[in-house]
Amino acid sequence: MRHWTLVGIGLVFLFCNAAFAQSVENSALPAVVANDNRTPAGQLDNGVLELRLTLKEARWYPEDVNGGHRDVFAFGEEGRAPQISGPLIRVPQGTKIHASIRNTLPLTAKVHGLHSHPGDANDVVTLSPGETRQLQFAAGDPGTYFYWASTSAKPLGERMDKETLLSGAFIVDAPGTKLDDRIFVLGLWWKGSLENPEEIPSINGKTWPNTERLTLNQGESTHWRVINPTVSDHGMHLHGFFFSVDGEGDGERFEQYAVEQRRLAVTEHIDVGHTFDMTWTPDRAGNWLFHCHMTSHMTPSESLHPKEPQPAAYSPEHEKSMSMGGLVIGIIVLPNSTAALHLAPTGATHKLQLVISENPEKIPLYNLEVNDPREPAGTDKKKKQSLLGPPIILTRGEPAEIEVKNSTSNPTAIHWHGMELESYYDGVAGWTGSGQQTSPPIPPGTSFVARMTPPRAGTFIYHTHWHDEGQLLNGVYGPLIVLEPGEKYDPEHDRTFVFSMGKYAPYGFLLLINGHPEPDPISLHAGNRYRMRFINITDNAADLRVRLTSEDMPVQWKVIAKDGAALRTGQLKYSVADMGITVGETYDVEYEADKAGLTDLQIWEPFFPSVVTQPLQFMPAN
């Protein structure tokens, strides 16, 4: 369920040039050097950058030199090793760029993005095999851009195989810009078809666990630039902290947001060919992650590591606590001189239990139950079977303890997505916590107590962070709702809709709303204002769309929060009820029907044939 901007999806990409189609590996190829995008290419002198680029074939080791490799096309500087991502072009505003490009490939290459910005996407340099071209242009306006090339005359989102990593960052700095930020170029080598792809995700030329480990200091603000020249969009998620989205671009243009326009997020969608800038401050020490939330992009690449069959039952040798891969960066936040790494205090005033059990060879495979002493006495816990866990309700500012009890035959780990908590309780087994004490897995028959004191009210998610797609596709997730002190959860006016993907007998894998492919109608009342909480916890639906229609026309709603953070007053406005919600993202909207009748809440993916509809029957006003 990936989003590919490919024409003719499912067809194997064919190259007509016989030299390119050779399957014999060339062991004499130069090795690619991973580019951490910290050292600008070329020589900058008196406002002029002299830059000499080459395109060449090289051998890429996405892990290390002892691991698998792919022969790829890559940019490099003349006389130096090829790099992935390509050499960093970074200059102050007002710089004149004098560049030469030499094509050593046996194919004609079209190079995009080497021009002044904002630019024209049709401003392309075409290089025949062996040709060298000279370019001169002004850098243009400040922003986060990129350059890229194709040897197949295909658009950016349709490149395949050797050409998929031909891209590099192009940064133009405004006067006074501090150069201590970080630049992350996402990579996705792939070939094949949507139904049977081979893919290797990477960041700055490496795939986890060989990606760079970032070391930051507690309390110090950090600025990042994220660039996506791949064939897929992504949902980039930061564990444990909110970040400010400072600006966005499409490779040719970049918009720097005014402070009042910036939104807070823990997960941000980045489309094919787009960029965004972000700023955040790690105010808690420990180990954290920044990764794409698509399951296929944060698990070991089957192209490098063929998937092993799942064991029928858990045993210690099958433990998979660190089997992440791909688009993942590890972050180590060091405590400052006045604050040490610590765990949340015991003595919580709100204690509850999340029990995970299973039905072997049945659907749903997993059952989740929340035991909360604050749940009203006599509540019927016999809910209709669905691929969805019950809501966990917490209160802002109140210490809570959640005991996760694993009554299944396989280990698990629960991540409290979007929660600002101590690293040890974040739920990435073997990583979060610190070097002295990392978060443990939860083996069968054991429990783990997660402690947290939510600092804000909003809509969050709890979900498995055990790297077994089967748990996510079988309902090991649910809504995590934090209320203001004194507020009671009112399901009559507060409705949660969880969008997921699951195996639903007898139809196979389907998109689901609240655990069902065809949810029953919900009765509401016209004239009442409803808070609708939307959660995307699918496996790979980075491009999920959600809309609310009446008589086949979108209505108007007001978006009031993203990822659990309330929008600023100036950002609150009514808009057409049709928007994207990427995997790992949440939105809260307000809606009030002005008349009785049927309204449909619908979700779909652009390249998935089915639309899932949740009927909302609005009754006359009370």
Residues 511, 517 contacting (CB under 8 angstroms): yes
Mean pLDDT, rounded, for 180-207: 92
Segment 558-564 shows an average pLDDT of 98
Residue 346 confidence class, pLDDT cut points 50, 70, 90: low
What does the pLDDT read at residue 376? 66
* Sign of the CA dihedral running 463, 416, 276, 113: negative
Q: What is the token pair recorded at 161?
A: 């195989």
- pTM of the model as a whole: 0.92
What distances in angstroms separate CA 167 from CA 85, 164, 286, one per listed residue?
Answer: 6, 8, 33
> What per-residue confidence (pLDDT) applies to 360?
75
- Residue 517 banded pLDDT, cuts 50, 70, 90: very high
DSSP H helices, 393-476, are 469-472
- The C-alpha angle with vertex 181 and arms to 137 and 205, in degrees rounded to 5, equals 80
What is the structure's pLDDT at 470? 87
pLDDT at 293: 97
For residue 42, which amino acid is it?
A: G
CA 138 → CA 133, 227, 393, 585, distances in Å?
17, 21, 55, 38
17 sits in the region (left: phi over 0; alpha: psi -120 to 50; else beta) called: beta
Ordered by where they begin, the domains of the chain are 18-297 (2.60.40.420), 346-489 (2.60.40.420), 510-619 (2.60.40.420)
What is the full DSSP assignment across 541-604?
Answer: -TT-EEEEEETTEE-EEEEEEETTEEPPGGG--EEESEEE--TT-EEEEEE--SS-EEEEEEEE
Tokens of 610: 């089915």
Contact 459, 566 (CB under 8 A): no
Half-sphere exposure (CA, 13 Å, Cβ side) for 246? 12
Indicate the pLDDT class of residue 543, thresholds 50, 70 and 90: very high
| Alpha carbon distance 228, 250 (integer Å) | 9
Q: How many CB atoms lie within 10 A of CB 193?
A: 17
pLDDT: which is higher, 345 or 325: 325
Across the beta sheet with 350-358, what order do the strands follow? 366-371, 350-358, 400-406, 447-452
Give the pLDDT score at 338: 57
Residue given tokens 């949660």 in the structure block: 496
Q: What is the pLDDT of residue 492?
A: 86
Strands 494-503 and 509-513, bridge-based pairing: antiparallel
> What is the pLDDT, as a whole number, of residue 586?
98
Residue 259's SS3 state is helix
What CA dihedral angle connects 184, 190, 195 and 196, to 10 degrees?
Answer: -130
- Is the pLDDT score of 11 beyond 50? no
pLDDT for 66 equals 85
Report pLDDT digits (tens) over 389-435. 999 999 999 999 999 999 999 999 999 999 999 999 999 999 999 98
Do the strands 48-60 and 96-103 form a parallel or antiparallel pair, or are they unpaired? parallel
How confident is the model at residue 119, as a pLDDT? 95
Indicate the pLDDT class of residue 321, thresholds 50, 70 and 90: very low
Mean of the per-residue pLDDT values of the chain: 90
* Segment among 313-327, 491-505, 527-541 with least mean pLDDT: 313-327
Whether the Cβ atoms of residue 197 and residue 164 lie closer than 8 Å to each other: no
Strand order in the sheet with 124-127: 86-92, 167-173, 143-150, 109-112, 124-127
pLDDT band at residue 344 under the 50/70/90 scheme: low
Spatial contact of 407 and 365, defined as CB atoms under 8 Å apart: no
* The pLDDT of residue 504 is above 90: no
Q: What is the pLDDT of residue 322?
A: 55
d(CA 542, CA 545): 9
- Would you state the pLDDT for residue 503? 82
Binned at pLDDT 50, 70 and 90, residue 604 comes out as very high
Q: What pLDDT score does 345 carry?
A: 58
E strands of 374-529, at which residues? Answer: 392-395, 400-406, 414-417, 447-452, 458-464, 477-483, 494-503, 509-513, 522-525
Does the pLDDT value for residue 573 go beyond 60?
yes
The mean pLDDT of 61-81, rounded to a whole number, is: 95
Radius of gyration of the chain (CA): 25
The two three-digit tokens of residue 32, written as one number: 């690619």
Q: Is 471 helix (H, G, I), strand (E, B) or coil?
A: helix
Distance CA 472, CA 299 (A): 13
Identify the band that residue 384 occupies on the pLDDT scale cut at 50, 70 and 90: low
